[in-house]
Protein backbone atom coordinates (compact mmCIF):
# COMPACT_ATOMS: atom_id res chain seq x y z
CA UNK A 1 0.00 0.00 0.00
CA UNK A 2 2.84 2.38 0.82
CA UNK A 3 4.44 1.55 -2.49
CA UNK A 4 1.35 2.78 -4.33
CA UNK A 5 1.26 6.03 -2.35
CA UNK A 6 4.94 6.61 -3.01
CA UNK A 7 4.38 5.97 -6.71
CA UNK A 8 1.54 8.53 -6.85
CA UNK A 9 3.66 10.97 -4.86
CA UNK A 10 6.10 11.09 -7.78
CA UNK A 11 3.67 10.64 -10.69
CA UNK A 12 1.10 13.29 -9.71
CA UNK A 13 3.45 16.32 -9.92
CA UNK A 14 4.90 15.08 -13.20
CA UNK A 15 1.42 14.58 -14.68
CA UNK A 16 0.32 18.02 -13.50
CA UNK A 17 3.44 19.64 -14.96
CA UNK A 18 2.87 17.80 -18.26
CA UNK A 19 -0.74 19.02 -18.47
CA UNK A 20 0.33 22.61 -17.81
CA UNK A 21 3.12 22.34 -20.40
CA UNK A 22 0.72 20.91 -23.01
CA UNK A 23 -1.81 23.69 -22.33
CA UNK A 24 0.82 26.39 -22.66
CA UNK A 25 2.29 24.81 -25.81
CA UNK A 26 -1.21 24.52 -27.31
CA UNK A 27 -1.93 28.17 -26.51
CA UNK A 28 1.37 29.21 -28.07
CA UNK A 29 0.63 27.19 -31.24
CA UNK A 30 -2.85 28.74 -31.56
CA UNK A 31 -1.41 32.23 -31.04
CA UNK A 32 1.30 31.71 -33.66
CA UNK A 33 -1.08 30.25 -36.25
CA UNK A 34 -3.70 32.95 -35.67
CA UNK A 35 -1.20 35.80 -35.86
CA UNK A 36 0.44 34.29 -38.95
CA UNK A 37 -2.69 33.52 -40.98
CA UNK A 38 -5.76 35.49 -39.98
CA UNK A 39 -4.51 39.09 -40.07
CA UNK A 40 -3.15 38.66 -43.59
CA UNK A 41 -6.09 36.61 -44.87
CA UNK A 42 -9.03 38.41 -43.27
CA UNK A 43 -7.59 41.57 -41.77
CA UNK A 44 -8.33 40.46 -38.21
CA UNK A 45 -6.21 41.81 -35.36
CA UNK A 46 -3.35 40.00 -33.63
CA UNK A 47 -4.17 38.16 -30.41
CA UNK A 48 -2.24 37.65 -27.17
CA UNK A 49 -1.19 34.34 -25.68
CA UNK A 50 -4.02 34.48 -23.13
CA UNK A 51 -6.63 35.13 -25.82
CA UNK A 52 -5.24 32.18 -27.77
CA UNK A 53 -5.41 29.97 -24.68
CA UNK A 54 -9.01 31.08 -24.09
CA UNK A 55 -9.83 30.35 -27.71
CA UNK A 56 -8.27 26.90 -27.37
CA UNK A 57 -10.37 26.18 -24.27
CA UNK A 58 -13.53 27.48 -25.94
CA UNK A 59 -12.96 25.29 -29.01
CA UNK A 60 -12.31 22.30 -26.76
CA UNK A 61 -15.59 22.91 -24.94
CA UNK A 62 -17.61 23.44 -28.11
CA UNK A 63 -16.06 20.91 -30.48
CA UNK A 64 -13.70 18.64 -28.57
CA UNK A 65 -14.23 15.57 -26.53
CA UNK A 66 -14.47 16.08 -22.81
CA UNK A 67 -12.45 12.98 -22.00
CA UNK A 68 -15.18 11.43 -19.86
CA UNK A 69 -16.27 7.87 -20.48
CA UNK A 70 -19.86 9.04 -20.82
CA UNK A 71 -19.10 11.52 -23.56
CA UNK A 72 -21.40 11.63 -26.53
CA UNK A 73 -18.87 10.18 -28.95
CA UNK A 74 -18.13 7.24 -26.64
CA UNK A 75 -21.84 6.62 -26.13
CA UNK A 76 -22.46 6.81 -29.87
CA UNK A 77 -19.68 4.29 -30.48
CA UNK A 78 -21.18 1.84 -27.96
CA UNK A 79 -24.63 2.17 -29.53
CA UNK A 80 -23.22 1.57 -33.01
CA UNK A 81 -21.32 -1.50 -31.80
CA UNK A 82 -24.48 -2.87 -30.18
CA UNK A 83 -26.52 -2.32 -33.36
CA UNK A 84 -23.83 -3.98 -35.47
CA UNK A 85 -23.73 -6.95 -33.11
CA UNK A 86 -27.52 -7.34 -33.17
CA UNK A 87 -27.54 -7.19 -36.98
CA UNK A 88 -24.76 -9.80 -37.15
CA UNK A 89 -26.71 -12.06 -34.79
CA UNK A 90 -29.87 -11.69 -36.88
CA UNK A 91 -27.93 -12.35 -40.09
CA UNK A 92 -26.45 -15.54 -38.60
CA UNK A 93 -29.93 -16.81 -37.72
CA UNK A 94 -31.31 -16.21 -41.24
CA UNK A 95 -31.66 -18.97 -43.77
CA UNK A 96 -30.12 -18.41 -47.24
CA UNK A 97 -33.62 -17.72 -48.60
CA UNK A 98 -34.28 -15.10 -45.93
CA UNK A 99 -30.92 -13.48 -46.65
CA UNK A 100 -31.69 -13.22 -50.36
CA UNK A 101 -35.15 -11.80 -49.63
CA UNK A 102 -33.53 -9.24 -47.33
CA UNK A 103 -31.00 -8.29 -50.03
CA UNK A 104 -33.79 -7.86 -52.59
CA UNK A 105 -35.73 -5.64 -50.20
CA UNK A 106 -32.70 -3.42 -49.60
CA UNK A 107 -31.97 -3.23 -53.33
CA UNK A 108 -35.55 -2.27 -54.13
CA UNK A 109 -35.46 0.54 -51.58
CA UNK A 110 -31.98 1.96 -52.00
CA UNK A 111 -30.51 0.86 -55.33
CA UNK A 112 -31.14 3.24 -58.23
CA UNK A 113 -30.10 0.54 -60.70
CA UNK A 114 -32.06 -2.65 -61.37
CA UNK A 115 -30.41 -6.03 -60.60
CA UNK A 116 -27.47 -6.93 -62.88
CA UNK A 117 -29.47 -9.30 -65.10
CA UNK A 118 -32.18 -6.71 -65.78
CA UNK A 119 -29.88 -3.81 -66.74
CA UNK A 120 -29.79 -2.63 -70.31
CA UNK A 121 -27.28 -0.44 -72.07
CA UNK A 122 -28.24 2.72 -73.96
CA UNK A 123 -29.32 0.76 -77.06
CA UNK A 124 -31.64 -1.57 -75.20
CA UNK A 125 -29.42 -4.67 -75.14
CA UNK A 126 -29.27 -6.60 -71.88
CA UNK A 127 -25.90 -6.45 -70.17
pLDDT along the chain (127 residues), means of 10: 70 90 93 94 93 92 65 77 92 92 87 58 52
- Position 22 in a domain: yes
Query: Which helix H or strand E contains 124, and what residues bound it?
Result: none
Residue-level pLDDT at 110: 80
Query: Residue 110 falls within a domain, yes or no?
Result: no
> How many structural domains comprise the chain?
1
In a domain, residue 88? The reply is no
Q: How is 31-66 classified by DSSP, letter by letter?
A: HHHHHHHHHHHH-PPP--HHHHHHHHHHHHHHHS--
Using one digit for the tens of pLDDT, what is the confidence trace for 52-70? 999 999 988 888 765 554 4
On whether residue 31 sits in a domain, the answer given is yes
Q: Count Cβ atoms below 10 Å from residue 30 Cβ, excluding itself.
A: 19
CA proximity to 27, closest of 64, 52, 1: 52
Three-class SS of residue 126?
strand
- Full domain range(s) for residue 48: 2-65
Find, among 28, 64, 73, the residue nearest to 47 by Cα.
28
In this prediction, residue 106 carries a pLDDT of 86
Amino acid sequence: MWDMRRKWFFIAPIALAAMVAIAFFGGWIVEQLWNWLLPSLFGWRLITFWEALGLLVLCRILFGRTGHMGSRSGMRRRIEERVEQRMADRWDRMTPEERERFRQGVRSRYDACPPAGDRKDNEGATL
